[in-house]
Structure 1
Amino acid sequence: MMNEHWKKSSYSDGRGGDCVEARATAQGAAVRDTQNRGLAELSLPSTEWSALLHALRTR
């Protein structure tokens, strides 16, 4: 599933501080910093994206 729309994390503080956006890609997912959207994005294969989400949920 590929999604061209970025979604802001529900954990973002809403005050312009530490905000992260993510979107689905053909290979897995991409993540970027909302304060530097045009600078770069981190692409993760689907297995690594799933592992990251699992690790964050079990914290």
Structure 2
Amino acid sequence: MDLGNVGWRKSSHSAGNGGECVELAAVPDSVAVRDSKDPEGGSLVLGRTDFRRFVGAIKEL
């Protein structure tokens, strides 16, 4: 999947000091996630249901 032209946005829960930053992009039927410090380093693309499960699991930590 080509993610070169999607609109990435930084998570509102990312640290403001430049560390631990996550960016999200809505793509058809999915959500892409990447590290804002390494935007060319690859992305994780999850279906919307799987993304909700992923976020729910992280919140339980």
By the TM > 0.5 criterion, same fold? yes
Identity of aligned residues (%): 36
The CA distance in 1 between the partners of 2:55 and 2:18, in whole Å, is 23
Q: TM-score, normalised by structure 2?
A: 0.74
AA matched with 1:29? V
Gaps of 5+ in 1: none
Q: TM-score, normalised by structure 1?
A: 0.76
> Greater RCO between the two (CA within 8 Å, min separation 6)?
1
Indicate the RMSD between aligned Cα atoms, in angstroms.
1.5
| Structure with a larger share of its residues in helix | 1
Aligned to 2:47: 45
Runs of 4+ in 1 over 4 A off after TM superposition: none
Aligned residues: 55
